[in-house]
């Protein structure tokens, strides 16, 4: 995907590229904040704590590196 982002030209963004960008942004957010599975209650209505991913900093760095190609404001 990084190659496709790097080779992009001005004009309309292809559907596959915009879908990939949105997915990568969501993955970044989930790595940053954690996530809840669909059945996130423990039976008595209380929510379970958010799950986290292994090595979130490394994963966020990789995701940001790919997204930085198309969103220069990420630094």
Residue range 46-72, pLDDT digits in tens: 667 778 888 989 999 999 999 998 887
Burial of 37: CB neighbours in 10 Å, binned 0-12, 13-18, 19+: exposed
> How far from chain centre, in Å, is Cα 41?
25
- Pairwise CA distance, residues 16 & 10, whole Å: 16
Q: What's this model's pTM, rounded to 2 decimal places?
A: 0.74
What pLDDT is recorded for position 51? 82
What pLDDT is recorded for position 9? 81
Q: What is the pLDDT of residues 1-56, one digit of tens each?
A: 778 888 888 888 889 999 999 999 999 998 888 887 766 665 666 667 778 888 98
What pLDDT is recorded for position 14? 87
Per DSSP, 35 falls in state B
Q: Average per-residue pLDDT in the chain?
A: 83
């Amino acid at each position: 995907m990084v190659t496709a982002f790097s080779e992009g030209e001005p004009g309309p963004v292809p559907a596959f590229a915009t879908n990939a960008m949105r997915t990568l942004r969501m993955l970044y957010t989930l790595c940053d904040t954690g996530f809840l599975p669909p059945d996130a209650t423990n039976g008595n209505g209380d929510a379970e704590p958010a799950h986290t991913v292994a090595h979130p900093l490394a994963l966020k760095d990789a995701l940001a590196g790919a997204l930085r190609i198309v969103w220069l404001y990420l630094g």
